[in-house]
Amino acid sequence: MTTGDPVTLILGFAIPMLFGTLFQQFYSMADTIIVGRFLGVDALAGVGSTAAVNFMVNGFVIGTCSGFSVPVSQRFGAGDYKDMRKFIGNLIWLTAVIAVVLTALAALMTRRILVFMATPDNIIDYAYRYIFIIFLGIPATYLYNSTACIIRSLGDSKTPVLFLVLTSLINIVLDYVSIVFLGFSVDGPAMATVVAQAFSGILCVFYMKKKFPVLRFEAREMQPDSRKCAVLLGMGLPMGLQYSVTAIGSVILQTAVNSLGSAAVASITAGQKIHMFCCCVFDALGGTMATYAGQNTGAGKPERIREGVFAATKIGSIYALFICGVLIVFGDRIPLLFIDAAETEVIYGAKLFLTMTSLFYIPLAIVNIWRFTIQGMGYSGLAVLAGVCEMAARALVGFAGVPRFGYTAACFASPLAWLMADAFLIPAFFFCLRRFSALVSKQKKAAAPRTRVVSRPALPAVKGV
């Protein structure tokens, strides 16, 4: 991604990633459709009430994996494959340790968190049974996300998608079979999700071993290295914490929504599922820009990073206008996928949520694209502060907006969060770009005298130096 037209490269890389995120949301929606249709509104609300805490934990998993892959893409862009393999070796050790610790903590705290969030009594058992199994599958989530991020860092965004498509279909079949034929409740779809994640991760491992000669480790490249671990943690933890910090605001907001009753929870659940499906384009553009920025940072090309950000923002804005129109027109019909037509209150609430959030999809596109670009350049700490802005906005709505204005305020929480994040991210990106440009310029000046000396014809050849 260090040469060629940025628009063509971004689209070529993002489209396969888009199909991957679409299928992730597709089987997530399949969970919701099957649960809502076969187990009822209470079960649907129970699963939906776990969305914020699920994002807080699994978002940390996704964020750390994305951060760990940044040094990999930078070393790949610089052509330093030996150092790249050392980073991957230490990445494997770190993800294994973090997965075990995070699984234990999440499993122990699940029930307490749901009680703290004031989950309604009629849905808390559904919520606990679902999210507890999801958290037991954290190692499987780490396996898929870490291997998929490594493959994408090496420039292949298509293969992880193919594996995800296959496992998504398996997940949907297992959802249906577990509920309709085996008589499981919400624990059936939860187990199906874990199995699908594990299978897709295993496929990625076998593919990496077979298709990438540069990943054939030499002696001692897999050994733990404190310096490499420090670099990886410096990239991964801020990105993971960014997701978790953002999710804290969502937890506060979900707690406020829970106080409005199970109908409000079901409305938000249906609306969020549709919203997440429609926003897969923004997720794909963000993931693309992380790799694009990482490789061009390793190659020392700040101008290409700037061109790429503007190209991706233009693409995201065009799509945002299109999908906003679709949701405004069909926002009262799409929720019928999950909910019976007789649930008029839930359908109205879902449409209200979709209409209000879709009006602010351009700010959301900027959040994803500019934040992931900053992360790809190596400035993960600044991206965390954008997450703090989002957390503050959602917490404000949860503490003050929902108690006073009810459900309508909850629908404005995410748009406010995106606007506050953009107010920080836009100047932060230009700060990072200026700093990186100055560093590249300084390195070129330092290298210039050596270049002139070597180029003198009277001097002996420098071969072997």
Q: Is the pLDDT of residue 464 over 80?
A: no
Give the three-class secondary structure for 50.
coil
Residue ranges of the alpha helices (H) in 79-186?
81-116, 124-136, 138-153, 159-176
The residue to which tokens 């449409």 are assigned: 351
- Token reading at 41: 């509104």
Measured from the Cβ of residue 130, the count of other Cβ atoms closer than 10 Å reads 27
What pLDDT, on the 0 to 100 scale, is given for residue 135?
Answer: 92
CA 170 to chain CA centroid, nearest Å: 22
When mean pLDDT is compared across 26-35, 66-75, 247-256, 291-300, the lowest value belongs to 26-35
160 — pLDDT class (breaks 50, 70, 90): confident
Number of structural domains in the chain: 1
What pLDDT, on the 0 to 100 scale, is given for residue 416?
Answer: 93
3 — pLDDT class (breaks 50, 70, 90): confident
**Domain membership flag for residue 162:** yes
**Domain membership flag for residue 449:** no
**Domain membership flag for residue 453:** no
pLDDT in tens, 93-122: 999 999 999 999 988 888 898 888 888 888
- Distance (Å, whole) CA 301 – CA 324: 35
What pLDDT, on the 0 to 100 scale, is given for residue 28?
Answer: 67
Residues 6+ apart with CB under 8 A from 63: 236, 239, 240, 241, 242, 243, 244
pLDDT in tens, 307-351: 999 999 999 999 999 999 999 999 888 888 767 777 788 888 889
What pLDDT, on the 0 to 100 scale, is given for residue 96?
Answer: 93
Which of 75, 144, 98 has its CA nearest to residue 291? 75
**Domain membership flag for residue 149:** yes
- Distance (Å, whole) CA 88 – CA 145: 13
- Burial of 372-394, coded b for 16+ CB within 10 Å and e otherwise, reads bbbbbbbbbbbbbebbbbbbbbb
When mean pLDDT is compared across 131-140, 210-219, 376-385, 433-442, the lowest value belongs to 376-385
- Token reading at 401: 């907006």
**What value does the mean pLDDT of the chain take?**
84
**Domain membership flag for residue 214:** yes
What pLDDT, on the 0 to 100 scale, is given for residue 426?
Answer: 94
What pLDDT, on the 0 to 100 scale, is given for residue 458?
Answer: 41
Q: How far from 159 is each of 68, 89, 171, 204, 393, CA to CA, in Å?
A: 19, 21, 18, 8, 37
- Distance (Å, whole) CA 245 – CA 227: 26
φ, ψ of residue 309 to 5 degrees: the values are -60, -45
Range of the domain at 245: 6-441
What pLDDT, on the 0 to 100 scale, is given for residue 1?
Answer: 67
**Domain membership flag for residue 232:** yes
What pLDDT, on the 0 to 100 scale, is given for residue 43?
Answer: 86
What pLDDT, on the 0 to 100 scale, is given for residue 456?
Answer: 41
**Domain membership flag for residue 88:** yes
Residues 6+ apart with CB under 8 A from 452: none
455 — pLDDT class (breaks 50, 70, 90): very low
CB–CB of 297/305 below 8 Å?
Answer: yes
Amino acid letter for position 76: F
- Find the distance separating the first CA and the last CA of the chain, reported in whole Å: 30
When mean pLDDT is compared across 235-244, 310-319, 387-396, the lowest value belongs to 235-244
**Domain membership flag for residue 202:** yes
Q: Average pLDDT, stretch 138-145?
A: 92
Q: How far from 121 is each of 45, 262, 323, CA to CA, in Å?
A: 11, 10, 36
450 — pLDDT class (breaks 50, 70, 90): low
Q: Average pLDDT, stretch 278-291?
A: 87
φ, ψ of residue 259 to 5 degrees: the values are -70, -15
Provide, rounded to the nearest whole percent, the portion of the chain with pLDDT above 70.
Answer: 93
What pLDDT, on the 0 to 100 scale, is given for residue 448?
Answer: 66
Q: Average pLDDT, stretch 370-391?
A: 83
pLDDT in tens, 176-212: 899 888 989 888 888 988 998 899 899 999 999 888 8
Q: Is the pLDDT of residue 286 over 60?
A: yes
What pLDDT, on the 0 to 100 scale, is given for residue 163?
Answer: 86
Q: Nearest 10 degrees: CA dihedral of 270, 272, 275, 280?
A: -120
Q: Is the pLDDT of residue 375 over 70?
A: yes
- Pick from 48-62, 273-287, 353-367 the range whose average pLDDT is largest: 353-367
Which of 448, 443, 375 has its CA nearest to residue 78? 443
Q: Which residue has the higher pLDDT, 213 or 30?
A: 213
Q: Is the pLDDT of residue 384 over 90?
A: no
CB–CB of 248/413 below 8 Å?
Answer: no
pTM (predicted TM-score): 0.69
What pLDDT, on the 0 to 100 scale, is given for residue 398?
Answer: 86
When mean pLDDT is compared across 140-154, 155-169, 291-305, the lowest value belongs to 155-169
What pLDDT, on the 0 to 100 scale, is given for residue 100?
Answer: 94
Q: Is the pLDDT of residue 452 over 60?
A: no
What pLDDT, on the 0 to 100 scale, is given for residue 240?
Answer: 82
